[in-house]
Amino acid sequence: MVTWTSHEDVWDEAAAASYDTPGSGMFAPGVLDPAVDRLAELAAGGAVLEFAIGTGRVAIPLRQKGVPVSGIEIAPAMLRRLREKMDEGTLPVVLGDMTTATVPGRFSLVFLVFNGISNVGTQAEQIACFRNAARHLTPGGRFVVELWVPELPPRPPAAQAVVGRMHDGYILVDTIDTVTQHLVSHHFGFGEGEGATLFHSSHRYVWPSELDLMAQLAGCELESRHADWHGTPFTAASPNHVSVYRLSDR
């Protein structure tokens, strides 16, 4: 059985303390720099808003490039970690749910990266996320979503475990409920000794076509979709995508 875990249970003090890995993992320059550069380009000189801003992995380097950035974050522990690095005056953040929270002003770009929309547990709430992004956009503004493409075993039963990524010292196992499109990712980390660490995160997986329909319900249309931040063409074999949706300018 796949069990949904609340944001407060997942993104607690321990998770926040271990989230940042400067110079490696998702903080590696080869991973982070292309995302920051592309988002700055899409902002086109305007202000931007990040949903699920976390500890500022993307927002802080974007702000350091001179782009005005605001954020929404649901987990107090993650926001406290961000505040150790940048103050409220430089990077304002509203503590709240990105499906409903509002931030003063309008933005040329709203973005939700690193699979953030999958942390929203229902289809209705994911649609609400798109609608909230649209409410914050100027006419013709863009909403950017970075997400993985679901990969399911053939003819799965209602719930099943599959192995995701494996590399030295790390194994990812997903338990999947294909009826609700829910999965729980179990992240196993192994060090030099005999012990191991375990971190759980809950997700609702979303197909690209389903995202496109959510965008239409919010008054947006797909402008572009690539396999990564470098602009690699998106194909049937792409494991991830960066999708750019544009709000009607009417």
| Coil/strand/helix, residue 198 | strand
List of E strands, the chain? 48-51, 69-73, 93-95, 107-112, 137-148, 159-167, 170-177, 182-190, 196-204, 220-226, 240-247
> Residue 12's Cα: distance from chain center in Å?
17
What's the rounded Cα separation, in Å, for the pair 230 and 35? 8
Give the C-alpha separation, 217 to 220, whole Å. 7
Long-range Cβ contacts of 102-105 (<8 Å, 24+ apart): 102/132, 102/135, 102/136, 103/49, 103/70, 103/71, 103/72, 103/136, 105/47, 105/70
- How many CA atoms are closer than 13 Å to the CA of 121, on its beta-carbon side? 10
Residue 185 has pLDDT above 90, yes or no: no
Q: Parse the chain into domains and list their residue ranges.
A: 7-150+206-247, 159-201
Residue 220 has what pLDDT?
98
The pLDDT of residue 155? 65
As a whole number of Å, the end-to-end CA separation of the chain is: 46
pLDDT of residue 157: 64
Residue 156 confidence (pLDDT): 62
Is residue 137 over pLDDT 50? yes
Domain spanning 7-150+206-247, CATH class = alpha beta
pLDDT of residue 162: 77
Residue 22 has pLDDT above 50, yes or no: yes
| Residue 143 near residue 215, CB atoms below 8 Å | yes
**pLDDT greater at residue 19 or residue 166:** 19
Q: What is the pTM of this model?
A: 0.90
Residue 165 has pLDDT above 80, yes or no: no
- Could you read off the pLDDT of 88-127 as tens digits, one per residue? 999 999 999 999 999 999 999 999 999 999 999 999 999 9
With both helix axes pointing from N to C terminus, report the angle between 208-217 and 123-136 in degrees, rounded to the nearest 10: 50
pLDDT at 58 over 90: yes
